[in-house]
């Protein structure tokens, strides 16, 4: 199925994987696949940036390799590390063998020459601990590589990624350049805590995922929380959409809507009432000030909801 | 069709989206996959390859809607081929009175045929191609509209169609008469389409062009001639933002408590591989510490606002900036800059110290009293001023001290090099104690300088 991908097919495939998306997302995904380019996904937290990578992996039946970025992340965590412990252990164990090895050599130059014959045994792939990036490059079949929250990593790491993103290869000084066997599909996500460099942006396709509109959000709830009846679904999505219009510290995202829908389902709610909303508001809103300000306004919001219907 | 895409990207650049050649190539590749047939698909494919920030996306949407507005042409598609464009009530009345009109003869000219068939995509493509051939994207001013419109119509084969129309008019055959009538209507509609197309192009190309043009002119204009204050402010912000983007990577990185295994092993080879000495990963990148002193006296009153604005932007870009302003005496304005936004901060500064007669000697003395102790070998001192001291005591020894203590002392003078030392200018006497002394007369020079400062100064 991977050869004749189209926007519609991707949307259907995503829907089967439980990920409902708009055509723009599917289009980006299609281009990423066809042009073999990494995708930079931006958007407010909780709109399904990470989910997109997971859904893509399911759709294409690829493995998902995830690299979570944080401040101080460096190549030994992201790319590879030598197994220093193993190296040390082996040298200690082999110490006794040294005599046998050097048998027949008489002076220093010839001993060194003999040692050289064993080459870089200690810097071979056996002693290499692959980290996510290297795993993705060396994978036998296609992979989806998710580099999560790239904006949290340092600038140095961003520059370090450039080689990987444009040529799908990486240089290890002791071994050489490692090229990808299959070009992985790379997703980078960012919450925009800082501006990413132009060089990085230039190499990526850019996808901005906004909060979904009411219709899309209803479909998402329908797929993810099928137990919620239609009337309640309409109400709860309408309510969340209204909340997003308010001036809040953190607006409720899709993941919170889903959580809320599940909560309401557990409580056997048939229709929204001021009491249920008030008692479950902490599922939607994560700041005390937000909760207080919405509580004050709750009846007004619910009344509007009824009016619109 | 690639040419149209290139035109679109040109228009997009005009709106302020920075699009590189590599991205253009991506867009071309993407369009090859997606095609021009579905407008929504085209839009999202281009958006994902060309617009790389949220801000860019908004500009992109606007630009795309203006550039590829097929809507005007949809009117062709919704009608049946034989149907005519909307007529006035009078004409319709006239027609109803007439006996059954004879079926018109088929048009022979290619343009006539295309218009009669009324396929909107086809017409849109033909319009765009004619537009490209007639170089409509070169349009800059309103008065060129007629010229380019005419050129486009000729490009589309209007001459041939008109010839056919006239021939048909001469004929007495009612079928031919009807054809002539239809052709005339088609021509009117085409004229309208072309006019709209040219107008859109003008809006896109000229608007973008003029802004870019104005900005590039402003960058090179002498500071004292800049009067469009609001625009300048935006520009200065832009400069500061660009500086911030390129240089914020020089952040301090401290990784405490993390063992650098590689170096540790290497260091301990001397002890036979027994780990005695540990080596920790520490990486420290210094940010420049800057103290900027700005002259706001009467002699530089024309520049003062800009110098202050730039000083303000500098405090935005760099963390460790202390700002001072002086005319007859010096005050520290760092706090002002932190508290207020640009305009208020500049106004407040000018109110407090601006406009007095210059006294470099006294101001240097105050500066030395205030914070000579804090000037160390990591500090860059920037002087912004014309060094015109009203024949007062220049106190060069203070500047020498500053120069000796600091990493570098930079003097930015809004006057031309040739005027240094003339009249009451003490620039010649201060010059030996400056690591650098540069005339800064335009925003472009200022930006170049600051970028240099950031690059080589840590």
| Inter-chain touch B33–A208, beta carbons under 8 Å | no
What's the rounded Cα separation, in Å, for the pair B187 and B194? 10
Note the pLDDT tens digit of each residue in B177-225. 888 888 888 888 888 888 888 877 777 766 665 566 656 656 655 555 5
Q: How far does the CA of residue A209 sit from the closest CA of chain B (Å)?
A: 10
**Does pLDDT of A89 surpass 50?**
yes
Both B112 and B193 in one domain: the answer is yes
Mutate to test the interface with B, among A187, A195, A202 (most CBs of B within 10 A): A202
B380 three-state secondary structure: strand
**pLDDT score, position B115:** 77
| Pair of tokens at residue A245 | 């219009």
Chain A residues touching B47 at Cβ < 8 A? 24, 206
Both B140 and B270 in one domain: the answer is no
Q: How far does the CA of residue A303 sit from the closest CA of chain B (Å)?
A: 34
B419 three-state secondary structure: helix
Which residues contact residue B192 at a Cβ distance below 8 angstroms, ignoring those fewer than 6 apart? none
Buried b (16+ CB within 10 A) or exposed e, A264-284: beeeebeebeeeebeebbebb
**pLDDT score, position B387:** 86
Over range A106-124, report the average pLDDT: 79
**pLDDT score, position A194:** 74
A11 touches chain B (CB under 8 A): no
What residue in A sits closest to B58 (Cα-Cα)?
A208
Both B198 and B105 in one domain: the answer is yes
B38 three-state secondary structure: coil
Mean pLDDT computed over every residue of chain B: 75
What residue in A sits closest to B20 (Cα-Cα)?
A202
Q: How far does the CA of residue B274 sit from the closest CA of chain A (Å)?
A: 10
Chain A residues touching B22 at Cβ < 8 A? 202-203
Distances (CA, A) of B378 to B289, B373, B437: 6, 13, 19
Q: DSSP for B229-251, please give it.
A: HHHHHHHHHHHHHHHHHHHTT--
**pLDDT score, position A31:** 92
| Pair of tokens at residue A216 | 């899309």
Residue B68 · residue B8 · CB < 8 Å: yes
What residue in A sits closest to B250 (Cα-Cα)?
A155
Query: Pick from A23, A82, A195: which is nearest to B44 by CB?
Result: A23
Query: Strand A176-179 to strand B321-326: parallel, antiparallel, or no bridges (unpaired)?
Result: unpaired
Structural domain contains residue B229: no
Both B274 and B298 in one domain: the answer is no
**Does pLDDT of A192 surpass 80?**
no
Identify the H or E element spanning B259.
Answer: none
Both B83 and B56 in one domain: the answer is no
Chain B residues touching A39 at Cβ < 8 A? 48
A64 pLDDT tier (thresholds 50, 70, 90): very high
3-state secondary structure chain A: CCCCCCHHHHHHHHHHCCCCCCHHHHHHHHHHHHHCCCEEEECCCCCCHHHHHHHHHHHHCCEEEEEECCCCCCHHHHCEEECHHHHHHHHHHHCCHHHHHCCCCCCHHHHHHHHHHCCCHHHCHHHEEECHHHHHHHCCCCEEEEEECHHHCCHHHHHHHHHHHHHCEEEECCCEEEECCCCCEEEEEECCCCCCCHHHHHHCEEEECCCCCHHHHHHHHHHHCCCCCHHHHHHHHHHHHHHHHCCCCCCCCHHHHHHHHHHHHHCCCCCCCHHHHHHHHHHHCCCHHHHHHHHHCHHHHHHHHHHHC
Note the pLDDT tens digit of each residue in B67-116. 876 544 443 433 333 334 444 455 455 444 444 444 556 677 777 777 77
| Pair of tokens at residue B414 | 């809004």
Instruction: Tell how far CA B363 is from the center of its chain.
Output: 39
Of B143 and A90, more confident: A90
Note the pLDDT tens digit of each residue in A13-57. 998 888 888 888 999 999 999 999 999 998 888 888 888 999 999
Q: Mean pLDDT lowest for which of A99-103, A127-131, A144-148, B403-407?
A: A99-103
Query: Pick from A28, A84, A88: which is nearest to B48 by CB?
Result: A28
Q: How far does the CA of residue A205 sit from the closest CA of chain B (Å)?
A: 5
The residue segments making up the domain with residue B309 are 289-456
What's the rounded Cα separation, in Å, for the pair B164 and B186? 13
- The ipTM, to two decimals, is 0.79
| Inter-chain touch B48–A24, beta carbons under 8 Å | yes
Domain termination residue (choose one: B188, B215, B242): B215
Over range B269-296, report the average pLDDT: 74
**Does pLDDT of B166 surpass 50?**
yes
**pLDDT score, position A309:** 52
Helix and strand tally (H, E) in chain B?
21, 6
CATH number at residue B401: 3.40.50.410
Hey, which of A199-208, A285-294, B421-430 has the most confident mean pLDDT? A199-208
Q: DSSP for B162-188, please give it.
A: HHHHHHHHH---HHHHHHHHHHHHHHH
Both B278 and B398 in one domain: the answer is no
| Inter-chain touch A198–B265, beta carbons under 8 Å | no
Which candidate, A196, A231, A31, A54, places its Cα nearest to that of B43? A31
**pLDDT score, position B289:** 75
How many domains does the structure of chain B reveal?
4
Chain B residues touching A85 at Cβ < 8 A? none
Chain B residues touching A42 at Cβ < 8 A? 54
Both B130 and B20 in one domain: the answer is no
**Does pLDDT of B284 surpass 60?**
no
Q: Mean pLDDT lowest for which of A12-21, A142-151, A245-254, B113-122?
A: B113-122
| Inter-chain touch B41–A7, beta carbons under 8 Å | yes
A206 touches chain B (CB under 8 A): yes
Instruction: Tell how far CA A168 is from the center of its chain.
Output: 18
Both B78 and B58 in one domain: the answer is no
> For tokens 């024949």, what's the residue?
B391
Chain A residues touching B273 at Cβ < 8 A? 88, 91-92
Instruction: Kindly tell me the sign of the dihedral angle through the C-alpha atoms of B173, B179, B183, B184.
Output: positive
**pLDDT score, position A291:** 87
**pLDDT score, position B453:** 64
Both B354 and B264 in one domain: the answer is no
Over range A62-73, report the average pLDDT: 89
| Inter-chain touch B44–A91, beta carbons under 8 Å | no
**pLDDT score, position A144:** 93
A216 touches chain B (CB under 8 A): no
| Pair of tokens at residue B85 | 């464009």
Structural domain contains residue B441: yes
- Residues of B in CB contact (< 8 Å) with A are 18, 20, 22-23, 26, 29-30, 33-34, 40-41, 44-45, 47-49, 51-54, 57, 244-245, 248-249, 251, 253, 255, 258, 261-262, 265, 273
Mutate to test the interface with A, among B49, B52, B242, B256 (most CBs of A within 10 A): B52
A90 touches chain B (CB under 8 A): no
| Inter-chain touch B49–A205, beta carbons under 8 Å | yes
Q: How far does the CA of residue A196 sit from the closest CA of chain B (Å)?
A: 8
**pLDDT score, position B75:** 39
Q: How far does the CA of residue A149 sit from the closest CA of chain B (Å)?
A: 16
**β-strand partners of A41:** A189, A207
Q: Between A and B, how many CB-CB pairs are < 8 A? A: 78
Note the pLDDT tens digit of each residue in B330-363. 888 888 888 777 777 888 888 888 777 888 888 8
**pLDDT score, position B255:** 45
Mutate to test the interface with B, among A3, A31, A44, A80 (most CBs of B within 10 A): A31
Over range A263-282, report the average pLDDT: 87
Both B19 and B129 in one domain: the answer is no
Structural domain contains residue B58: yes
Give the other-Cβ count within 10 Å of A210's Cβ.
Answer: 13
Q: How far does the CA of residue B185 sit from the closest CA of chain A (Å)?
A: 40
Residue A61 · residue A142 · CB < 8 Å: no
Both B186 and B82 in one domain: the answer is yes
CATH 3.50.50.60 fits A7-75+132-208, yes or no: no
Both B81 and B210 in one domain: the answer is yes
**pLDDT score, position A308:** 59
B158 three-state secondary structure: helix
Mean pLDDT computed over every residue of chain A: 86
**Does pLDDT of A204 surpass 60?**
yes
> For tokens 């192009």, what's the residue?
B201
Q: How far does the CA of residue A222 sit from the closest CA of chain B (Å)?
A: 26
**pLDDT score, position B82:** 38
> For tokens 């110290």, what's the residue?
B353
Q: Mean pLDDT lowest for which of A199-213, A267-281, B254-268?
A: B254-268
Chain A residues touching B46 at Cβ < 8 A? none
Over range B375-400, report the average pLDDT: 85
What residue in B sits closest to A8 (Cα-Cα)?
B41
Q: How far does the CA of residue B373 sit from the closest CA of chain A (Å)?
A: 34
Q: How far does the CA of residue B262 sit from the closest CA of chain A (Å)?
A: 8
Residue B301 · residue B355 · CB < 8 Å: yes
| Inter-chain touch B40–A28, beta carbons under 8 Å | no
What's the rounded Cα separation, in Å, for the pair B166 and A259? 73
Percent of chain B clearing pLDDT 70 (strictly above) = 73
Over range A146-166, report the average pLDDT: 86
Over range A238-257, report the average pLDDT: 87
């Amino acid at each position: 199925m991977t050869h004749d991908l189209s926007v519609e097919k991707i949307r259907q495939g995503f829907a089967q994987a439980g990920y409902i998306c708009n055509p723009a997302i599917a289009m980006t995904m299609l281009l990423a696949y066809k042009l073999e380019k990494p995708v930079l996904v931006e958007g407010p937290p909780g709109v399904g940036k990470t989910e997109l990578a997971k859904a893509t992996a399911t759709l294409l039946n690829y493995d998902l390799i995830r690299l979570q970025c944080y401040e101080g992340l460096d190549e030994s965590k992201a790319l590879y590390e030598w197994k220093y412990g193993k190296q040390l252990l082996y040298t200690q164990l082999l110490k006794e063998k040294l005599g046998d090895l050097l048998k027949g050599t008489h002076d220093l130059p010839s001993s060194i020459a003999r040692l050289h014959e064993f080459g870089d045994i200690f810097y071979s792939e056996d002693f290499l601990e692959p980290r996510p990036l290297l795993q993705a490059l060396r994978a036998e079949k296609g992979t989806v590589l998710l580099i999560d929250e790239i904006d949290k990593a340092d600038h140095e790491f961003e520059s370090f990624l450039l080689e990987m993103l444009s040529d799908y290869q990486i240089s290890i000084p002791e071994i050489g350049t490692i090229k990808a066997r299959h070009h992985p599909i790379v997703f980078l996500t960012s919450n925009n805590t800082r501006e990413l460099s132009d060089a990085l942006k230039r190499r990526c396709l850019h996808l901005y995922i906004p909060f979904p509109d009411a219709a899309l959000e209803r479909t998402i709830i329908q797929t993810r929380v099928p137990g919620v009846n239609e009337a309640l679904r309409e109400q709860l999505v309408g309510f969340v959409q209204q909340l997003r219009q308010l001036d809040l510290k953190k607006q409720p995202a899709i993941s919170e809507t889903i959580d809320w829908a599940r909560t309401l389902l557990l409580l056997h709610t048939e229709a929204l009432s001021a009491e249920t909303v008030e008692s479950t508001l902490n599922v939607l809103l994560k700041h005390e000030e937000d909760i207080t300000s919405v509580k004050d306004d709750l009846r007004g919001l619910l009344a509007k909801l009824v009016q619109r219907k | 069709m690639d040419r149209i895409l290139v035109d679109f990207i040109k228009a997009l650049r005009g709106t302020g989206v920075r699009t590189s050649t590599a991205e253009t190539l991506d867009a071309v590749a993407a369009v090859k996959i997606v095609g021009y047939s579905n407008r929504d698909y085209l839009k999202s494919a281009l958006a994902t390859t060309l617009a790389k920030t949220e801000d860019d996306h908004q500009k992109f949407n606007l630009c795309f809607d203006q550039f590829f507005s097929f809507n005007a042409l949809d009117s062709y598609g919704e009608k049946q081929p034989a149907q005519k464009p909307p007529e006035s009530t009078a004409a319709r009345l006239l027609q109803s009175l007439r006996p059954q009109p004879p079926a018109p003869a088929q048009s022979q000219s290619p343009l006539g045929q295309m218009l009669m068939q009324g396929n909107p995509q086809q017409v849109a493509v033909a319009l765009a191609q004619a537009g490209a051939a007639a170089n409509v994207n070169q349009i800059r001013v309103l008065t060129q509209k007629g010229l380019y419109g005419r050129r486009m119509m000729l490009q589309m084969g209007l001459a041939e169609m008109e010839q056919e129309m006239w021939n048909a008019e001469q004929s007495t055959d009612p079928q031919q008469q009807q054809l002539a009538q239809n052709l005339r209507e088609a021509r009117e509609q085409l004229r309208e389409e072309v006019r709209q197309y040219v107008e859109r192009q003008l809006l896109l190309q000229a608007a973008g062009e003029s802004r870019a043009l104005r900005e590039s002119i402003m960058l090179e204009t002498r500071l004292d001639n800049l009067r469009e204050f609001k625009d300048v402010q935006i520009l200065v912000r832009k400069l500061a933002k660009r500086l911030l983007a390129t240089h914020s990577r020089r952040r301090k990185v401290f990784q405490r408590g993390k063992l650098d295994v590689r170096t540790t092993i290497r260091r301990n080879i001397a002890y036979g591989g027994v780990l005695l000495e540990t080596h920790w990963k520490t990486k420290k990148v210094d940010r420049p510490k800057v103290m900027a002193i700005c002259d706001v006296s009467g002699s530089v009153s024309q520049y003062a606002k800009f110098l202050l604005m730039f000083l303000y932007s500098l405090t935005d870009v760099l963390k460790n900036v202390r700002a001072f302003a002086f005319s007859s005496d010096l005050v520290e304005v760092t706090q002002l800059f932190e508290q207020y936004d640009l305009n208020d901060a500049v106004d407040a500064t000018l109110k407090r110290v601006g406009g007095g007669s210059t006294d470099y000697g006294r101001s240097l003395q105050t500066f030395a009293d205030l914070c000579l102790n804090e000037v160390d070998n990591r500090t860059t001192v920037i002087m912004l001023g014309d060094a015109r001291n009203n024949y007062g005591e220049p106190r060069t020894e203070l500047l020498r001290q500053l120069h000796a203590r600091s990493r570098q002392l930079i003097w930015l003078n809004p006057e031309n090099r040739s005027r240094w030392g003339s009249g009451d200018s003490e620039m010649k006497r201060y010059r030996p104690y400056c690591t650098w002394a540069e005339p800064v007369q335009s925003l472009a020079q200022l930006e170049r300088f600051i970028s240099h400062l950031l690059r080589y100064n840590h």
